[in-house]
């Protein structure tokens, strides 16, 4: 019996121009949704991060592209990570990865009856190390101050105060933050308590407040005190 052996060939990836290598890595590593802790991450292509293990040089190029081109969620929104052991993703990252991040997302609404215990803007998040974050996306899923859920909520202004305080702690720690993009589900109005207070906090700290127009799906800069369209 003839012993047929196939010689494995390698491709000289690093002989390609840097721009072309970046396009290839972007195609391999980019995912459309914000990066967050989720039990189904293995189904979303995150196993591609094994590419980081190929070599030191590939790790350097691929990791910088991955962390600089995605939006990272500050706190997990899946209830599996709401307990004491649910350490947010940012706390799990070393400094070199935090420094490469350029965009963050804060999603308010999950756990509104009882805010998750790990949702604390403490130094462990490493926000002060994120020297390249200039954009923060703030998304509000619901506003418990609405009278429709009276009797279920902890108090009319409780979640508004919690959201505003947490949001303020976050923007105070981001050294290069310049603008905040506000968005919400259609059921949340700009003039309602949570959204209105967070926009006020952003302006008080000198950040540009950019609001999503729900009718045209376009971003608009808001410089006037009022938040009505």
User: pLDDT of 186-227, one tens digit each?
Assistant: 888 777 788 999 999 999 999 999 987 655 555 454 433 332
CA neighbours closer than 13 Å in the CB half-sphere of residue 65: 23
State the Cα angle at 40 between 37 and 42, rounded to 5°: 95
> CB of 14 within 8 A of CB of 21?
yes
pLDDT of residue 118: 85
Mean pLDDT (the chain, rounded): 83
For residue 183, what are the β-bridge partners?
A: 139
Residue among 136, 137, 63, 148 at smallest CA distance from 98 = 63
Q: How confident is the model at residue 6 (pLDDT cuts 50, 70, 90)?
A: low
Span 22-34, mean pLDDT? 89
Residue 91's pLDDT is 93
Place 176 in a pLDDT band, splitting at 50, 70 and 90: very high
Looking at mean pLDDT, say which of 37-46, 89-98, 149-158, 214-223 comes out highest.
Answer: 89-98
The residue assigned the tokens 């010689």 is 7
The larger pLDDT score, comparing residue 187 to residue 68, is at 68
| Token pair in block for residue 196 | 């209105």
Contact 145, 194 (CB under 8 A): yes
Strand partners, 35: 72
pLDDT of residue 100: 96
Question: Could you tell me which residues are beta bridge partners of residue 105?
Answer: 73, 137
Query: Looking at the DSSP assignment, which residues form a beta bridge with residue 103?
Result: 71, 135
| Domain range list for the chain | 14-69, 72-222
pTM: 0.84
Q: How does residue 154 score in pLDDT terms, banded at 50, 70 and 90?
A: low
Tell me: pLDDT of 179 over 90. yes
Residue 18 burial by CB count (10 A; 0-12/13-18/19+): exposed, middle or buried? Answer: exposed
């Amino acid at each position: 019996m003839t012993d047929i052996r196939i010689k494995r060939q390698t491709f000289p990836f690093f002989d390609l121009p840097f721009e072309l290598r970046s396009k290839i890595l972007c195609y391999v590593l980019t995912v459309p949704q914000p990066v967050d802790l989720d039990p189904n991450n293995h189904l979303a292509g995150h196993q591609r991060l094994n590419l980081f293990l190929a070599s030191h040089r590939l790790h350097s190029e691929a990791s910088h592209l991955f962390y600089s081109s995605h939006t990272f969620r500050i706190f997990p929104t899946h209830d599996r990570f709401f307990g004491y052991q649910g350490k947010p993703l940012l706390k799990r990252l070393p400094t070199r990865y935090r420094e490469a991040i350029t965009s963050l997302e804060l999603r308010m609404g999950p756990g509104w009856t009882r805010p998750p215990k790990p949702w604390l803007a403490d130094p462990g998040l490493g926000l002060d190390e994120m020297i390249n974050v200039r954009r923060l996306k703030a998304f509000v899923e619901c506003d418990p101050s609405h009278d429709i859920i009276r009797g279920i909520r902890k108090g009319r202004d409780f979640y508004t105060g919690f959201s505003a305080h947490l949001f303020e702690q976050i923007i105070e720690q981001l050294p290069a933050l310049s603008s905040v993009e506000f968005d919400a589900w259609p059921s949340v109005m700009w003039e309602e308590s949570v959204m209105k207070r967070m926009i006020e906090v952003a302006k008080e700290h000198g950040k540009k407040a950019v609001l999503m127009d729900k009718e045209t799906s376009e971003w608009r800069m808001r410089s006037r005190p009022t938040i009505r369209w």
